[in-house]
Amino acid sequence: MQTPTESLNDAASLQGLVDLERYPIFDLKGEGGQQLIDECRRQLAKDGCVVLKRFVPQAALERLERETERLSPQAHYNQTETNPYNSDGDPSLPASHPRNRFGDRTNGFVAGDRIDDSTIIRQVYQNLDFQRFIAEVVGMDEIHEYADPLAGLVINVLREGCQHPWHYDTNEFIVTMMTRQAHGGGRFEYAPGIRSPEGENFDAVQRVIDGDRSPLKSLDLQPGDLQVFFGRYSLHRVTPVEGDRERHTVIFAYAKEPGFIGRPERALRIFGRMAPIHEKLLSEGMQRSDNLQD
């Protein structure tokens, strides 16, 4: 259990990095903290997503953008054709089936082991008050940083023409922060709760891929905005970036249990390399806790 002194120290470490007056994440039992949690939960229950506008205060936004701009040249870019499940197609199924619907995925990722401790994003990611806040929002007793040295804290970099087609996230929820907006495109679109642990709902997914926009929501994210999103169950994409200004988004990845490590083949595909722990898992084999397709 954290002592009051430790809690104060955690809050102090976020001074100037988070708008603590608007978002009192250091005092979740207080009236303001409870109101914040309640509103976030209402939004998540409604459509699987909540956006906290200007979570990073104006005074820190320039520093935030400079950090990801400095690190962005280290992004590993790859171009591939992928279906929503990041899997191979299934020739036993019709060509129209979502398992056989592939879209262009061209983007870059800066791996977590390239992001140093002095950055705002690393300090926020590792902050215990921030972690407790996210856990409360998503209805968990606690959350844990990834044991995966590459995928825990990541910067997504999209150049002109880059996009991320319809897909699901590996973990149940994801926390992201926009740090740099492109001149055009790069819109985040999603179909909230289109699948569940009980089923894939392939028919509805197929309709979205075919152009049905009726279940979709679209977000116009701005630098400093924090987003909490149930991306394991909500089909989502980022539309192609337009113009010569890169789109930068930080991904804060947490897990329900300690020790989470992503699939080795996924690390190789996204970061262009594996960490030693991935190579160890690859040789030993690994199992997931659910049976969803990705």
Residue 112 within a domain: yes
| CA-based torsion, 262, 266, 271, 277: positive or negative | positive
In a domain, 229, yes or no: yes
Task: Indicate the number of domains in the chain.
Answer: 1
Residue 29 lies in a domain: yes
Identify the pLDDT of residue 170: 76
C-beta separation of 157 from 72 below 8 A: yes
Q: Are the C-beta atoms of residues 112 and 151 closer than 8 Å to each other?
A: yes
Print the domain residue range for 182.
7-284
Q: Are strands 174-180 and 254-255 parallel, antiparallel or unpaired?
A: unpaired
Taking the C-alpha atoms of residue 37 and residue 16, their distance in angstroms, rounded to an integer, is 21
Per-residue confidence (pLDDT) for residue 287, from 0 to 100? 54
> Does residue 236 form part of some domain?
yes
Q: What's residue 6's pLDDT?
A: 46
Mean pLDDT by 10 residues, the chain (294 residues): 46 87 96 98 94 95 96 95 94 98 95 95 96 97 95 96 93 92 96 95 98 95 96 95 97 92 88 92 66 52
289 falls within a domain: no
Does residue 291 lie within any of the structural domains?
Answer: no
> Does any domain span residue 294?
no
199: domain CATH number?
A: 2.60.120.620
| CA distance to 122, 128, 263, per residue, from 118 (Å) | 7, 16, 28
Alpha-carbon gap, residue 150 to 261, rounded angstroms: 9
DSSP string, 40-92: HHHHHHHHSEEEETTSS-HHHHHHHHHHHHHHGGGPEEEEEEE-TTSS---TT
Q: Answer yes or no: pTM beyond 0.85.
A: yes
Rounded distance between C-alpha atoms, residue 159 and residue 238, angstroms: 12
Q: Which H or E run includes 268?
A: helix 264-271
